Structure 1
Amino acid sequence: MGTDDDEASQLREIDLHFDPYSDTAVDDYDSLKQTIEGMEVQKLLNRELEKSLPDTFLVTQIGRTLRLHEPEVAIQLVETLLAPRNLHAFRASWSTIMRGVANLRGDARFQEIFESIDVLLDFVPEQADHLLKAEASLLHYLRTLRFTRTNSRAAFVRRTYDQVHSDTVRRACIDCWRSWGDRAQFTFLRGRWNELSAECQRLVWLASFSFGDQGDGLRRQLGANLDQSWRLGIERQQGQSFGAIYRGWCDAAHADA
């Protein structure tokens, strides 16, 4: 076992961008996982907390390793990264930490720690609201909320949707409602269809497939008018409109689901 400094240097140098389509994908993954498991990553993370200025790249690398650990180790790291007292210290690595947490939350191998992750995520707005002021940071956080609905995150997402004017953020909120199958919010969006941007309308259209007869009704009522309103202005005169192409893609995606 090397010293802490040796392990920190090794972790900084490891390429953690795994290619799942490589001819040697399984061997590459196993080798990378074995290397990471041989390090005392939690100890390295704790050492960064002792510094007035944590090593941003090292913390970023730790965020990238989350899925390479066993569940019991992964949740210990997440608890440290998302602890209220640590969130501000690790703010420079926020995007990577959120991506790492989202990857964990979307991986069935870590199902046993999903509930613990969700509890930690739901405390973030209460404990570190200032970290969610920047749009990019907010989008990374919203990505982690898509997997399940809780009362606190449902309130947060609706409040965010109502308060922002960014189409990108509103689309992220709509995607949460789509993933949760939140019928009340789908009804809310349907009632405000004409106030939605074309980008938000398209995501609501995709979401409609998750809401049975109510979604079918939206598509029957509004489908005939979309070819013109969803035009991009680059379609060929004799070709299909973007709206028609998009609706066809949604139909095919639903048929394959």
Structure 2
Amino acid sequence: MNEAPDSAHDADGPEPPVRPRRKGIYILPNLFTLAALFGGFYAIVMAMNGRFEQAAIGVFCAMVLDSLDGRVARLTHTQSAFGAEMDSLSDMVSFGAAPALIVYEWALKGLGKPGWIAAFVYCACAALRLARFNTNIGVVDKRYFQGLPSPAAAALVTGFIWIMDDLGFKEGVRDIGWLVWLTFGITVYAGLTMVTNAPFYSFKDLSLKRSVPFIVIVAIVLFIALINLHVPLMLFLLFVAYGVSGYVLYAYRRMKGKPVSVIATSTDEPDEHGLHH
């Protein structure tokens, strides 16, 4: 004689498997990332239509938005692997492909093959810099970037275009020899500086919650007023100063016998000890 089932589970058979919960996407930080991506895409479209001032402004807007998405994610505790990957892809478009295409359309096209090679060098270096940053994110000294950050490199290239456009170089730029070669030099410099080992200060150790002397607030007000004297020129000079600061710090550290590289190019290659010295 069969025994009666001792539970509903035995009578009805095995329970259906529990479906795993779907992982959602945090909307707030990714909205800033998408807005930054739109800034880069807008810049490309404007360059294709010969509106290079608007293209430069699009890149600078993308820079501001890119600086906010990570902070918003940390403040709202919405960091995610998806957001990190999305941010890298957005950076590649806004600060890698967009500046390369803009500068090529603006001036480098007049050089023929050297022109598109320079634009490609910049674009490739931006990709290498972002890949290295993502690889070393767990071991990097957060006070410094290894190599020029891609937003700063984009500011060098597009900031120069913005200044020249503001000065009246709107048409026939590709036929002005000295300007084309100067643009070539700035593009290659910005690209190669992204993949150097020179340390660039990251400003990540600055705390907005910490009290500061009153004079600091006055200095910030004066800085904002100075920027507004001539926005394109002042922003470009600011990023030029930042773009050479890494080499100055590199030379200073070598003179003092200190390590000149904040990290190695990779954490799993045994022959990179020399990069620290």
TM-score by length of 1: 0.28
TM-score by length of 2: 0.27
Structure number, greater radius of gyration: 2
Higher helix share: 1
